[in-house]
Amino acid sequence: MNFKPRSSSPEPEINLIPFIDVLLVVLIFLMLTTTWSRLTEIQLNLPVADATPPSQRPRQIVLTITSQGQYAVNKSPVGGSSVGALVAVLTPLADKDAMLVISADASATHQNVINAMEAARRSGLSKITFAAQSAPSPGS
């Protein structure tokens, strides 16, 4: 009978140092071969349209809003400052081709402009634009 103690085989051990060395070499290779260019802007060549201006401009209804909240339609004062009063004035003027131009004072409240837009919607005016003045040139 053989009573010698069995010698256990040595367990395999993973050596991490060569693995880390290989990863560092791969990392350096990737860093050197990567292009680091940044796209700063896109060059566009826009198409050119040779369109003639429309021969007939749509009929404009000018709605003026003062800084005190008073309304005027085509330079005629509106009797009240409510949405209903605006609807009563705008409805007879509204047709499918009419464009409403809202010309509000810079100090007019946001609510007054919203009331004008609501009155336009109720009157059936779907084409709405806002008037603005151009900024003065620096030389003048």
Percent helix / strand / coil, the chain, rounded to 5:
30, 15, 55
> Which two three-digit tokens encode residue 9?
């085989």
pLDDT digits (tens, 9 = 90+) for 118-135: 999 999 888 888 887 766
What would you report as the CA-atom Rg of the chain, rounded to the nearest whole angstrom? Answer: 38
Phi and psi at residue 122, in whole multiples of 5°?
Answer: -65, -30
What are the residue ranges spanned by the domains of the chain? 60-130
Q: Which CATH number fits domain 60-130: 3.50.50.60, 3.40.30.10, 3.30.1300.10, 3.30.420.270?
A: 3.30.420.270
Going by pLDDT thresholds of 50, 70 and 90, the confidence category of residue 86 is: very high
pLDDT digits (tens, 9 = 90+) for 20-54: 999 999 999 988 888 766 655 555 565 666 666 66
